[in-house]
Structure 1
Amino acid sequence: METRELRYFVAVAEELHFGRAAQRLGMAQPPLSRAITQLERRLGIALLERTSRKVTLTQAGAVLLAEARAILSAVAAAERRTLRAAAAHPSLVLAVKSGTAGELLRKLLDAYAEEPDAATVDLLLCEAHQHQRLLQDGHADVALLHLPFDSAAGLDTETLCTEGQVVILPVWHPLAGRSRVRMADVTALPQLPMARWPRPDGSYPDGPGAEVRNLTQLFQLIALGRTTAVIPESAGADLHRDLTAVPILDAPPVTTVIAWPPGSRLRTVADLVRVATRL
């Protein structure tokens, strides 16, 4: 199979409509239909069920869709990383969730900049659960993750630090004046339900709390008295005057790791990981 055929198939499988898929690919519909038919004939199986009213995936088609996405993502990642490696001035892209790892990130960037052959580090600020995709498709070379909130499945990692968690509250809340609380105190706040973060597929769990995607949204909603959240201690270090962070005695610890794609051969990544673990 050629990557061109895989791109054609993915477009049709995602749109489930030949006309829309052709428009997305910037081509006419007849050659797209012929290309898919030729692919099915060569494989000897049906990938799509076609009727006059709709197009659906067969079981084999669903398998090929997942495999094709991974292949095309790997091809794109290889192209992006190769181009960065061939640049006159070496660089790497570090993905970090917006508003997190502030002090650690500053120390890491400062220490790495002092290395004799330091590359330019481009920061890619992202939202929850985007790290894996960014590393897999080559948009990022390395990332800072917070376990267990982020998934490090399929990635190589080195542990950097472990910290406690805090609950973020508006300053007028009765618990805001305490020096520490327990999880039972936090979960017993009916007027401030826990914020809901998206799952990896983008959907949100059920619940009364506000739907949030980043810390900027979260902090604004907490200041308005609409929700609350339990986050790593470092993420609550630089709060607005209308918010406060209260340590939680019995919250599970959060571990920050530096992660990169398995099998990476980029010297810049190896150097950055070495500096991070030394810190």
Structure 2
Amino acid sequence: METRELTYFAAVAEELHFGRAAERLGIAQPPLSRAIQKLERRLGVTLFDRSGRRIALTPAGEVLAREAAKVLDAVAAATVRTQRAGRAEPRLVVVLKAGGDGGLLPEILAAYRAHPDAVEVELVLCAVTERARMLRDGTADVAFLHSPYEDLTGFDSEPLRVEGSVAILPPGHRLAERSFVRLADLADDPAPCWPGEHPDISDPATLMQLVALGRLIAVAPESVADHLRRDLVAVPVLDGTPTTVVLAWPEGTRSRALAAFVHTATTVAARHPAAAVTGSQKAWSAAFGTAHTGNTVSQDR
């Protein structure tokens, strides 16, 4: 199959209308229809059901729609990466959400500058949903992501830090003075809990404003507490889902600068003070009368 054929097919699959797809592609409708028919003959399957008033994808067409999107994204990403690799001054584009580095980035950058394979680092702060997309489309080289909340398909990755959870609350909230809470406490609250409710909110500023107004309770990794607004508080959630901060990059990437960054990040993470007792772990100990050390915390979580 040719890329042009997949582009034509993807347009029809998205529009489910040959006329609109042709207009979107900037071509006449008859050549588009012929191209789709040629593709169907070559594959030996019917891609569109044309029997009704509106066309629809067949099961085979649904499969090709998914696969075509991956191929076209890969072609676009290859173009962007090739153009970036040809620049006179190479740089490493690192993408993350605000506070999404688990507190590791300043030390990583300082150590990376001393590495013989280091290049200039460009930091890009973006919304939660943008990070993986920027990796896939070639705009970024490496990203700080969070497992299990994000799809790591198509990426190589290294875990850097495991964090507990905190509930972000306004100071006047009935739970704000508690040493710790459990998910059941949050479920009983009149305010809905994010990300269970309103998972489409991806802008941190919007999320924090809704929390400050008492419209939401946000459950987030504990490192978020280091970047909170003064009108919000963080309370450890004992049974919250642990979050792993991972460094991710496209599978099969060959880059000495990227390899140096990943090696530096894992080295920093291994010696970072995050291994010490954190707020949520202290709360766990207070709740159950158990002393935790850095060597046992990850198992207890």
Q: Judge same fold: TM > 0.5, yes or no.
A: yes
Residue number in structure 2 paired with 1:182: 182
How far the C-alpha of 1:52 sits from its partner, in A, is 7.1
CA contact (8 A) 2:74 2:136 kept: yes
Residue number in structure 1 paired with 2:259: 270
Deviant stretches of 4+, over 6 Å: none
Residue number in structure 1 paired with 2:80: 80
How far the C-alpha of 1:33 sits from its partner, in A, is 1.6
Residue number in structure 1 paired with 2:115: 115
Residue number in structure 2 paired with 1:196: 195
Taking a change above 3 Å as real, the CA distance of residues 229 and 60 of structure 1, as seen in their structure-2 partners, is same
Residue number in structure 2 paired with 1:220: 209
Residue number in structure 2 paired with 1:61: 61
Residue number in structure 1 paired with 2:159: 159
Aligned counterparts, 1:1-279, within 5 A: 1-51=1-51, 53-101=53-101, 103-190=103-190, 192-196=191-195, 212-279=201-268
Taking a change above 3 Å as real, the CA distance of residues 184 and 155 of structure 1, as seen in their structure-2 partners, is same
CA shift digits 1:121-161 (9 cap, x unpaired) = 23333333444433233222211112222232342111111
Instruction: Name the aligned partner's letter for residue 184 of structure 1.
Output: A
How far the C-alpha of 1:21 sits from its partner, in A, is 0.9
Instruction: Name the aligned partner's letter for residue 257 of structure 2.
Output: T
Residue number in structure 1 paired with 2:294: none
Taking a change above 3 Å as real, the CA distance of residues 51 and 182 of structure 1, as seen in their structure-2 partners, is closer
CA–CA separation in structure 1 for the residues paired with 2:257 and 2:3 = 29
Secondary structure of the 1:177 match is coil
CA–CA separation in structure 2 for the residues paired with 1:102 and 1:220 = 22
**163-172 vs 52-61, which deviates more?**
52-61
Instruction: Name the aligned partner's letter for residue 219 of structure 1.
Output: M
Taking a change above 3 Å as real, the CA distance of residues 116 and 54 of structure 1, as seen in their structure-2 partners, is same
Cα RMSD of the aligned pairs, angstroms, is 2.2
CA contact (8 A) 1:165 1:230 kept: yes
Taking a change above 3 Å as real, the CA distance of residues 245 and 57 of structure 1, as seen in their structure-2 partners, is same
How far the C-alpha of 1:28 sits from its partner, in A, is 2.1
- Where do 5+ consecutive residues of structure 2 fail to align? 269-301
CA shift digits 1:216-268 (9 cap, x unpaired) = 11100000010101101112212222111112233332211111122111222
Secondary structure of the 2:210 match is helix
Taking a change above 3 Å as real, the CA distance of residues 47 and 65 of structure 1, as seen in their structure-2 partners, is same
- Where do 5+ consecutive residues of structure 1 fail to align? 198-206
The percentage of aligned residue pairs carrying the same residue is 54
Taking a change above 3 Å as real, the CA distance of residues 24 and 125 of structure 1, as seen in their structure-2 partners, is farther
